[in-house]
Amino acid sequence: MRQATPPFHTGRRTVLAGGLAMGGLWAGRMGARAAIPETLPQPPSVISSPPRQWGADAPPGLLPDPDILPLDPSFRDLVYGNANLRLAWRGGSWLEGPAWNSEGRFLLLSDTIKAVQYRYLWENDAVSVFRPYSYNSNGNIFDRQGRLVSCEHGMRRVIRWEHDGSCHVLADRYNDAPLNSPNDVAVHPDGSIWFTDPGYGDTIVEGHPDAPGGPANRGGIERWTLDGEVVSQSGGDRRQEDHVFRIDPVSGKIEAVLTQQQLKDPNGLAFSPDGKTVYVISSGPGPGQNGQGGDLHIHAGDVDNGTVRNLRPFADMMLNGQQMGPDGMRTDIFGNLWCGANGPLGLCGVVVYNPHGRMIGRLRLPRGVSNLTFGGPKRDVLYMCAADALFTLQVNTQGAAPS
């Protein structure tokens, strides 16, 4: 039985006033009514002093959670009033690419800096190594046949793991030139695989720096010296413009659906539940780029027979006068877009837009969110990667599968 959600910020003053209205006997017996404070203590939150505590040793969270912030009445239908934001695990370096495996009932995570993939179990928060060396993998998704598709910075490629354990390279070149550093990936209802290919992996830490003087290493600050452990990784100059690519589900052909001229620095990628709309994030400048890079907005386009038409701004990611930095995103079954947001403390976390581009709510976290997805047996748990940590929230909606 679902417990009724307590009203937001119900005042103690209101409760006391109701009791006193029953008569003056109580006041008479006590002599005089005690003064009621004008303001009530606020529950610990991300922005309180002292701030909210996280983790296993944190005190029980108060309800409603002070860091779940409705901006529109419709958002209350998407969040479960008896749920708290929770720190589930901390131990990575830079977590990315959360993807839910429905068959194995586990969450897959990439650590782009440690070049490791992890398996997280939803029942007990246990974490183990899934793939000990992942070539700085970033985005992941399980396709409609349950096969893992991963973007690898280090090898400049998109791969798929078959059910028999073999690895199939889906994309590593375009127009006879290596890819940059495939970043995020999504599966369309027609079975095609779409991925973004900016240059964010063109560093030693996250993949492969350009040769000195190359487009992503113009000053020659980083050096690419191969040794026995990484001889198979790809160095050299960056040779591609930024693209959003589509891999045909039948022929395997790689096609550019968006170019750098249409959208700079493509990053996060998601589809509406019906697959008729694609959402793409334009992020900040990559290594070696001059200027401000992308516009830090979310863009939407109409998907028409494997192409993108009518590309347009969807959301500017402005919050309280601050330009937030969007990253990974996913849609729920109602078409709402849940997007990781980086920015000042108190504003960073997750922002939620309805299908019309209106921000209807947000989740306040102590750090920015690089990527997120829905998981759990009912796909009603939001998993949020935030630097070295994984946060979770039980929600009152479900992710649009697959994730």
> How far is 116 from 381, CA to CA, in rounded Å?
23
Q: Which of 38-42, 75-79, 161-165, 231-235 has the lowest mean pLDDT?
A: 231-235
pLDDT tens digits, 119-157:
999 999 999 999 999 999 999 999 999 999 999 998 899
Across 237-256, average pLDDT: 90
Question: What would the two tokens of residue 5 be?
Answer: 């959600």
Instruction: Give me the pLDDT at residue 246, please.
Output: 99
Q: Check pLDDT > 50 for residue 7.
A: no
Instruction: Give me the pLDDT at residue 214, please.
Output: 60
Across 27-39, average pLDDT: 53
Across 87-102, average pLDDT: 97
In the chain, % helix, strand, coil (3-state, to 5) comes to 5, 40, 55
pLDDT tens digits, 195-244:
999 987 566 666 666 555 566 555 555 554 544 444 344 444 456 889 99
Count the neighbouring beta carbons within 10 Å of the beta carbon of residue 311: 16
b vs e for 284-304, b when ≥16 Cβ sit within 10 Å of the residue's Cβ? bbbbbbeeebbbbbbbbbebe
Instruction: Give me the pLDDT at residue 220, please.
Output: 55
Domain ranges of the chain: 68-394
Phi, psi of 246 (to 5 degrees): -125, 130
- Collapsing DSSP to helix, strand or coil, 26 comes out as helix
Q: Quickly state the pLDDT bin for 9 (edges 50, 70, 90).
A: very low
Instruction: Give me the pLDDT at residue 17, please.
Output: 39
Domain 68-394 has CATH 2.120.10.30: yes
Predicted TM-score (pTM) of the model is: 0.85
Pairing label, strands 277-282, 193-197: unpaired
> How far is 144 from 178, CA to CA, in rounded Å?
27
Question: What would the two tokens of residue 378 be?
Answer: 């009912």
**Which helix (H) or strand (E) is 244 found in, with range?**
strand 243-247
Q: Mind giving me the DSSP string for 193-240? A: EEEEE-STT-STTTS-PPPTTSTT-TT--S-----TTSTTS--S----
Across 345-362, average pLDDT: 99
Q: Quickly state the pLDDT bin for 398 (edges 50, 70, 90).
A: very high
Q: Average pLDDT over the chain, rounded to whole?
A: 86
Q: Is the peptide bond before 285 cis (omega within 30 degrees of 0)?
A: no
Instruction: Give me the pLDDT at residue 284, please.
Output: 80
